[in-house]
């Protein structure tokens, strides 16, 4: 190694501003959902920045984007660092972008200092972490770990404009094909490290700049579809109604009263509801919703999922309608490698940074990559714990401190 690498905080903050302009919303956030033109523009910008530094750029069949800094021994599996560039429809500027741009800043700071590590270091921007436009989330990291695109994704359609996943995946790859080389899906990785905003309040409220993440809680997504009979609002007496919206609302209100109040660590969210035909003076024919359920323990998730299924089935029976419940996401809780956590603790000590160990309430690509390589995550505080919200905010100094911690961790993980 030549000189000691250092984070260029101004460069990182300027980059965050540049990427926040792509898909910027009037409320100060971003809408850069997976595989949309905005997502492609962000990938193209990162590729331009990488090429300007003479790093090599690769894409695989899941449209995951890799930026490689060569090592002295190019045959060694790379140290992989990164996050995602896609966002929620009404998302913030930092969720995903901060981790991806911090990883890129670390690559640049290694290059600036003339460091040539023994093994290659690669930045990755995973495809569709969020899962809001195409479910499930973490598609890129999932396909990477499985080494293939699951067959059932071919028929997926976007929740916003109905576009086919298959078409969007291929056009996204095509858009950067001239500026990147094709890569096989899934390759050996020495270790994976991801920085992210906490998306919760604990670091900010405890005034701790760095979270060392020891694992991720489990997530299940259900799609619930009630079907009854549409009929005249003015003429149909109670005993003749088969109202799917009534079943949905009665079923959900019992779940709101039970799931979270009775299970302190559970998270129960209904984020999307649709009713058809959606006429003011017709009983609906169908009513559907999504359910996002999270908990750190599989056994509790199993029990809560059973309770949700039976509660909604009973509500359907009471209203004489049918209900179909389909699971679209099942992410098991994950505990990260204790060696990785120890390396992060050693890095924080060397950098003189106070830390807190914690598990992640949000899911992340690291949850999947942990299935093929030792993985861990670093969290930085965000204002009021707010995320998946345009008002999401990270103080500039906290972003820079996170990047310093990330660089120290990368140096800890690279063989000398």
- Binding residues (CB under 6 A) for ligand GLV: these are 130, 137, 362-363
CB of 144 to Mn ion, least distance (A): 16
In 98-130, which positions are buried (b, 16+ CB within 10 angstroms) versus exposed (e)? bbbbbbbbbbbbbbbeebebebbbbbbbbbbbb
Among 23, 78, 82, 96, binds Mn ion (CB under 5 A): 96
In 10-49, which positions are buried (b, 16+ CB within 10 angstroms) versus exposed (e)? ebbbebbeebbebbbbeeebbbbbbbbebbbbbbebbbeb
Distance CA 24, CA 399 (A): 20
130 is in an annotated binding site: yes
10 is in an annotated binding site: no
Distance CA 339, CA 327 (A): 34
Closest to ligand GLV by CB, 7 or 362:
362
Q: Widest CA span of the chain, in angstroms?
A: 83
CB of 111 to ligand GLV, least distance (A): 30
Q: Is 95 in the site for Mn ion (CB under 5 A)?
A: yes
User: Apex CA 159: angle with CA 245 and CA 141, to 5°?
Assistant: 125
CB atoms within 10 A of CB 384: 13
Strand bridging mode 191-197 / 79-84? parallel
CB of 282 to Mn ion, least distance (A): 37
CB of 252 to Mn ion, least distance (A): 24
Residues within window 359-388 making contact with Mn ion, judged by CB under 5 A: 362
Closest to ligand GLV by CB, 91 or 251:
91
Distance CA 165, CA 406 (A): 33
Strand bridging mode 121-126 / 79-84? parallel
Residue nearest to ligand GLV (CB): 362
CB of 158 to Mn ion, least distance (A): 17
Closest to ligand GLV by CB, 363 or 393:
363
Distance CA 286, CA 323 (A): 10
95 is in an annotated binding site: yes
388 is in an annotated binding site: yes
| Alpha-carbon torsion (83, 16, 167, 156), positive or negative | positive
Report yes or no: 22 and 38 within 8 Å, Cβ to Cβ.
yes
Q: Is 218 in the site for Mn ion (CB under 5 A)?
A: no
CB of 18 to ligand GLV, least distance (A): 22
**Residue 308 has which token pair?**
């949700």
Closest to ligand GLV by CB, 19 or 363:
363
Contacted entry of Mn ion, ligand GLV, none for residue 392, CB cut-off 5 to 8 Å set by kind? none
Burial label for 301, CB within 10 Å (0-12, 13-18, 19+), is buried
Q: Is 305 in the site for Mn ion (CB under 5 A)?
A: no
Q: Is 176 in the site for Mn ion (CB under 5 A)?
A: no
The stretch among 38-46, 87-95, 316-324, 400-408 that binds Mn ion (CB under 5 A) is 87-95
CB of 232 to Mn ion, least distance (A): 43
196 is in an annotated binding site: yes
Residues within window 324-363 making contact with Mn ion, judged by CB under 5 A: 362
Report yes or no: 385 and 201 within 8 Å, Cβ to Cβ.
yes
Closest to ligand GLV by CB, 25 or 171:
25
Closest to ligand GLV by CB, 96 or 402:
96
Closest to Mn ion by CB, 109 or 360:
360
Q: Which residues are annotated as a binding site?
A: 84, 95, 130, 196, 388
Q: Where do contacts with Mn ion occur on this chain (CB under 5 A)? A: 95-96, 362
Q: Which residues are annotated as a binding site for Zn(2+)?
A: 84, 95, 130, 196, 388
């Amino acid at each position: 190694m030549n000189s000691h690498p250092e984070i260029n905080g101004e460069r990182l903050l300027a980059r965050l501003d540049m990427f926040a302009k792509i898909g910027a919303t009037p409320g100060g956030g971003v809408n850069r959902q997976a595989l949309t033109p905005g997502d492609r523009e962000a990938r193209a910008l990162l590729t331009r920045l990488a090429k300007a530094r003479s790093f090599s750029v690769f894409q695989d069949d899941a449209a995951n984007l890799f930026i490689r800094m060569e090592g002295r021994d190019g045959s060694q599996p790379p140290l992989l660092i990164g996050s995602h560039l896609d966002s929620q429809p009404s998302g913030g500027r930092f969720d995903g972008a901060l981790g991806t741009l911090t990883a890129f800043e670390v690559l640049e700071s290694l290059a600036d200092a003339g460091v040539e590590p023994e093994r290659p270091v690669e930045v990755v921007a995973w495809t569709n972490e969020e899962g809001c436009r195409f479910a499930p989330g973490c598609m890129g990291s999932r396909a990477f770990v499985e080494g293939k695109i699951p067959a059932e994704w071919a028929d997926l359609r976007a929740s916003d404009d109905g576009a086919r996943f298959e078409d969007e995946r291929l056009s996204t790859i095509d858009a950067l094909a001239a500026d990147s080389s094709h890569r096989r899906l899934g390759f050996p990785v020495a270790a994976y490290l991801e920085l992210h905003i906490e998306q919760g309040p604990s670091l900010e409220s405890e005034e701790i700049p760095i979270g060392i993440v020891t694992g991720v809680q489990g997530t299940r997504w259900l799609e619930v579809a009630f079907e009854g009979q549409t009929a005249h609002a003015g003429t149909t007496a109670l005993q003749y109604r088969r109202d799917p919206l009534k079943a949905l609302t009665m079923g959900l209100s019992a779940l709101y009263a039970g799931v979270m109040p009775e299970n302190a660590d559970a998270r129960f969210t209904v984020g999307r509801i649709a009713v058809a035909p959606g006429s003011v003076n017709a009983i609906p024919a169908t009513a559907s919703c999504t359910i996002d359920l999270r908990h750190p323990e599989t056994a509790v998730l199993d029990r809560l999922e059973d309770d949700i299924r039976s509660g909604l089935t009973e509500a359907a029976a009471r209203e004489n309608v049918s209900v179909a419940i389909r699971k679209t996401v099942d992410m098991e809780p994950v505990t990260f490698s204790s060696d990785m956590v120890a390396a992060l603790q050693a890095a924080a000590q060397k950098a003189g940074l106070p830390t807190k160990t914690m598990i992640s309430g949000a899911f992340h690509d690291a949850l999947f990559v942990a299935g093929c390589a030792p993985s861990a995550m670093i969290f930085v505080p965000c204002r009021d714990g707010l995320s998946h919200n345009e008002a999401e905010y990270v103080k500039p100094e906290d972003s820079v401190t996170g990047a310093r911690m990330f660089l120290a961790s990368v140096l800890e993980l690279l063989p000398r």
